[in-house]
Amino acid sequence: MTFLGMPTLSGEPFPTAARAALGDAQLRRNLAKATGTIRAKRARVVEELPDWAGLRAAGAAIKDATLADLDTHLLAFEADLVARGTTVHWARDGAEAARIVTDLVAATGTREVIKVKSMAGAEIGLNDAFDAAGIAPIETDLAELIVQLGHDRPSHILVPAIHRSRAEIRDLFRREMPGVAPDLTDEPAALAEAARRFLRHKFTTVDVAISGANFAVADTGSLVVVESEGNGRMCLTLPRTLISVVGIEKLVPTWSDLEVFLQLLPRSSTGERMNPYTSVWTGPTEGQTAHVVLVDNGRTATLADTVGRAALRCIRCSACLNSCPVYARTGGHAYGSVYPGPIGAVLSPQLTGVAHNRTLPYASSLCGVCQDVCPVAIDIPSILVHLRGKVVEDHAPVAEAAAMRALAWAMADAGRWRRLLRAGRLGRALGRRRDRIGSLPPPLSAWTGTRDAPRPPRQTFRDWWESR
């Protein structure tokens, strides 16, 4: 099966994937520049609003109130949609959601669909499902298109192709984009123009579009898509059938709640006062057929955890990625999950259950900057610690637990401890070259694989004290 660029919710363990990324100096330079630039823009426009703290508190409270009565809001939303003529579908998990969407596309007789960038679509593995069903999905967001043409994976929520240089993108377009000029340069404007030409034809000829939604308004049945390029508007308007994949946590109770989120999201995300385009639609528009697929896929399980539940407030702005020192060094691929960065480290393990994602809760230094910048004030560090507890409960890491038990035994008796410390001097043989112990054989490698241990001293403190 061709890998179409969408990682699932759990991939390679974080430490393994991060090690490769850490060795890539070019990636680290690109990431530092990108995250630093967006971070500075965000700080500037957030400072402009004297009521930012109030907006943030309201955003968090609205999301919490929605979650506390989620079924009521979902039923109201569904009733509005049905009354307007939208067909509503419910999906317990990603596979069911992907099957519903592919069946709907197949029923139209179309073999090609255009897609608006959607995290939910990526989460449910939609492109792989289309591929298996013989339907060709076309990403219309420029970065997602770059990722798709490169048979690659997104590395950031907001700028998924941030790990690619302009020269790589030029080579990719020349190789993979039908009808592209052979002398295409690597100027971003020229590359965007090539994508515009390629996609314009798709927008006006493909019959089915797939979107997500940034917000779903329970009391009006309105859906909201926030974007920059205008590819979203094209997909939402021109095809005859529109299928929207909506996570059940996307709801807000009332239309007026958008006054909060339409301020929080663009400023936190791209660092703009407002993103170039926001589309709102309420029911099928201008002769279209409209479907909405409401997706659970681990959200109700997350809701059941009173600590972890707050992660469902997330509005996918990516401010936490741009502020995170761990993300800036490893990039998004290391998280092995559709949702990278700090929010990915709390959201993905909860959506899959921690048993399937045991390393992500550790992919953080717990410095807390992600919480400071989160527009809906998600206490990511506390949820990480909470999830680490669940990982340990679920399945204690054997080597570490055994080592700690042995240490406890040794420290329980003074004579025993002294003999052990003396024996530790033997370890000097290990770090002779640079006074550091690099790597030890298993099971001690579990510790030394990610840390350097200092070489033990010539004399123990106790021996020195006694010899005075």
Partner 1 sequence: MNARDEILRRIAAALGDRRPTPPVPRAYRRATGEPGDVDLFADRVRDYGARVRVVSADAIAAAVATALHDRNARDVVAAPGIPAGWAPTADRSTVDTQRLGAVDGVITACRVAIAATGTIVLDHDAPDQGVRALTLLPDYHLVVVRRDRIVADVPDAVAALAGVRTQTWISGPSATSDIELERVEGVHGPRTLEVIVAR
* Residues numbered 52-71 forming contacts with partner 1, rule: CB under 8 A: 53-55, 57-58, 61-62, 64-65, 68-71
Question: Which residue lies nearer to partner 1 by CB, 141 or 152?
Answer: 141
Tell me the backbone φ, ψ of residue 53, rounded to 5 degrees: -60, -40
44 binds partner 1 (CB under 8 A): no
Tokens of 155: 């590395």
- Please identify, among the stretches 154-162, 326-334, 338-346, 433-441, the one whose residues bind partner 1 according to the rule CB under 8 A: 154-162
Selected from 222, 268, 322, 323, the binder of partner 1 by CB under 8 A is 222
Please tell me whether the peptide bond between 443 and the residue prior to it is cis, using omega within 30 degrees of 0: yes
DSSP string, 394-440: HS--HHHHHHHHHHHHHHTSHHHHHHHHHHHGGGGGTTTTTSEE---
185 binds partner 1 (CB under 8 A): no
Which residue is listed with tokens 């006006």? 204
- Please identify, among the stretches 6-14, 34-42, 395-403, 451-459, the one whose residues bind partner 1 according to the rule CB under 8 A: 34-42
Beta strands per DSSP E along 170-326 = 208-211, 215-217, 222-227, 241-247, 251-252, 277-282, 289-295
Q: How far is residue 344's CA from residue 361's CA, in Å, rounded to a whole number?
A: 9
Tokens of 287: 């002769």
- Please identify, among the stretches 7-15, 48-56, 389-397, 450-458, the one whose residues bind partner 1 according to the rule CB under 8 A: 48-56
Question: Which residue lies nearer to partner 1 by CB, 128 or 249?
Answer: 249
327 binds partner 1 (CB under 8 A): no
Residues 445-464 touching partner 1, rule: CB under 8 A, are none
Selected from 104, 138, 142, 180, the binder of partner 1 by CB under 8 A is 142
Other Cβ atoms within 10 Å of 192 Cβ, number? 12
Classify strands 436-437 and 453-454 as parallel, antiparallel or unpaired.
antiparallel
Question: Which residue lies nearer to partner 1 by CB, 18 or 224?
Answer: 224
195 binds partner 1 (CB under 8 A): yes
Selected from 1, 25, 189, 414, the binder of partner 1 by CB under 8 A is 189
25 binds partner 1 (CB under 8 A): no
- 97: Cα within 13 Å, side-chain hemisphere: 29
Question: Which residue lies nearer to partner 1 by CB, 222 or 359?
Answer: 222
Question: Which residue lies nearer to partner 1 by CB, 130 or 281?
Answer: 281
Nearest one of 362, 363, 351 to 326, comparing CA atoms: 363
Residues 244-273 touching partner 1, rule: CB under 8 A, are 248, 255-256, 258-260, 262-263, 270, 272-273
State the nearest-atom distance from the C-beta of 340 to partner 1, in Å.
16
188 binds partner 1 (CB under 8 A): yes
Which residue is listed with tokens 């709640």? 257
Helices (H), 134-290: 142-149, 166-176, 188-205, 231-237, 258-269
State the nearest-atom distance from the C-beta of 344 to partner 1, in Å.
20
Q: How far is residue 54's CA from residue 58's CA, in Å, rounded to a whole number?
A: 6
82 binds partner 1 (CB under 8 A): no
Nearest one of 101, 48, 443, 460 to 267, comparing CA atoms: 48
51 binds partner 1 (CB under 8 A): yes
Question: Which residue lies nearer to partner 1 by CB, 79 or 404?
Answer: 79
Contact 340, 321 (CB under 8 A): yes
DSSP string, 59-122: HHHHHHHHHHTHHHHHHHHHHHHHHHT-EEEEESSHHHHHHHHHHHHHHHT-SEEEE---HHHH
Tokens of 295: 């997706």
Question: Which residue lies nearer to partner 1 by CB, 17 or 293?
Answer: 293
State the binding string over 340-379 for partner 1 (x if CB under 8 A, else -): ----------------------------------------
* SS3 label, residue 249: helix
State the nearest-atom distance from the C-beta of 81 to partner 1, in Å.
13
Q: How far is residue 30's CA from residue 2's CA, in Å, rounded to a whole number?
A: 28
State the nearest-atom distance from the C-beta of 212 to partner 1, in Å.
17
301 binds partner 1 (CB under 8 A): yes
Q: How far is residue 399's CA from residue 436's CA, in Å, rounded to a whole number?
A: 22
Selected from 159, 351, 363, 387, the binder of partner 1 by CB under 8 A is 159
300 binds partner 1 (CB under 8 A): yes
Question: Which residue lies nearer to partner 1 by CB, 277 or 417?
Answer: 277
322 binds partner 1 (CB under 8 A): no
Other Cβ atoms within 10 Å of 444 Cβ, number? 14
- Please identify, among the stretches 184-192, 322-330, 367-375, 427-435, the one whose residues bind partner 1 according to the rule CB under 8 A: 184-192
Question: Which residue lies nearer to partner 1 by CB, 298 or 456?
Answer: 298
Selected from 76, 116, 146, 314, the binder of partner 1 by CB under 8 A is 146
